[in-house]
Amino acid sequence: MICIDDLNDWLGCMNGHPNAKTPNIDRLAAEGVLFANAHCQAPLCGPSRASLMTGLRPSTTGIYGMIDDDLINQDNPSTEGIIFLPEYFKNNGYHTMGIGKIFHHHAPDGVFDESGGRVPGFGPKPSERFVWSGKPGKEGYSRTSTDWGAYPEADSLMPDYQSTQWTIDRLNRNYDQPFFLSVGFLRPHVPWYVPQKWFDLHPLENIETPPYLESDLDDLPAITREIDDLPMMPTTQWAIESGEWPKMVQAYLACVSFVDFYVGEILNALENSPHAENTIVVLWSDHGYRMGEKGTFAKHCLWEEATNAPLIFAGLNIEKGIIIHSPAEMLSIYPTLLDLCGLKPYERNEGVSLAPVLHGETDTAGEFALTTYGWGNHGVRMEDYRYIRYNNGSEELYNHTDDPNEWYNLVQEKDMTSEIEKLKIFLPKVDVPYAKHSVYNFNPYFIKEKLVHSE
């Protein structure tokens, strides 16, 4: 299981950006099934990973913000006694191993039989930032690690390099029982620092910035301005005026190419190992990332660029070279892996198994994908539409056939009423308050919301 932090659809196999160079992830997609319309359950690392690893929706657990790995199942009735994904395999005779960022930090204590540990921070970092200070200049806002530039000198100084070597070493061993092995990559999470050679793959003069409409947010409800108030992040207007936008895109692409190379190193090690013929590989990201779309550089929203992320399965008895365009959820990873490995379903999983799609029995992953961002704010993605409903009743609606950039909110159009009613059906029936240990300090809106809507 390969987990990648903040990776959006900027892969060759997803056609997310014309400058993307990702031959290894593209190779994995060609050898398996790519869910091109897969979506996270929360557009933020902590709640997204907690959802995936528990098999429960954020609206079920109240985990809407960051949470310490060991506190996911503490003081929370909905997660009491929950069996985490790697733990389920451990309980069923698998030797479990993991390194890097798999849950929010690494993993709850005891989940892995063998742990390479948490990779400290998102370094290495230079003594001084190159471009962006990370300081919002406002009270009530957290600082960001956002910055970009070529650093350090060698890949061997990067934590992801070290995680790769640890993973390769485990793949080269023999085991007397089946194994579950997971590696969590940090890049392309900010800061966008990788050695110069990865920047050289993406010459600045060739860089294309993503589509942007300056008036994009004019037809949105007022609540979006509160939720999307992120002064710690660069705005698109600042990036345009400063001339930094192409450099930021270059840096993100460089980080993606860096990670892609080390994904390739792991795939090569697997292919040359004794386990090549009987191992299933799943690669996923915890959410996407806006690189100037919708006015800023961040995840933190219910729009397409933040919710859509790669999901690829490959290996034993899995179809090859298939791209699925119907909606899928990261929530489905847990039940799908159990199904593929012949394990008994876990009755508490809220996702559905994608195994029938992987075996070629159907070409439809699901009818919808649901993303939640804070209490009561939900986005429903179907094959052609995205519907968003906020906790004050405000709404957005986008037709992806005509408007893939989600520039035009159709919620006021009279002929859209019946479509909205169809989409409302998929909003969660359970919508619990903020869990005790779930913390969200990115802006005053969410600080206030937790005070009002908490256990």
Q: Which residues are catalytic?
A: 45, 104
The residue assigned the tokens 């806006």 is 290
Distance CA 9, CA 407 (A): 18
**How far, CA to CA in Å, does 230 sit from each of 142, 433, 444?**
9, 23, 10
Contact 64, 432 (CB under 8 A): no
How many CA within 13 A on the CB side of residue 322?
21
Which DSSP letter does residue 84 get?
A: P
Count H helices and E strands in the chain, helices first.
14, 18
Which DSSP letter does residue 122 get?
A: T
The angle that helices 23-30 and 245-271 make with each other, rounded to 10 degrees, is 50
Contact 326, 364 (CB under 8 A): yes
The angle that helices 333-340 and 45-54 make with each other, rounded to 10 degrees, is 30
Distance CA 56, CA 63 (A): 10
Tokens of 106: 């690494």
Contact 305, 407 (CB under 8 A): no
Tokens of 410: 């159709």
Distance CA 253, CA 240 (A): 18
Which DSSP letter does residue 407 get?
A: -
Distance CA 410, CA 130 (A): 41
Contact 4, 293 (CB under 8 A): no
Distance CA 224, CA 298 (A): 14
The angle that helices 245-271 and 159-171 make with each other, rounded to 10 degrees, is 20
Contact 43, 333 (CB under 8 A): no
Amino acid at 260: D
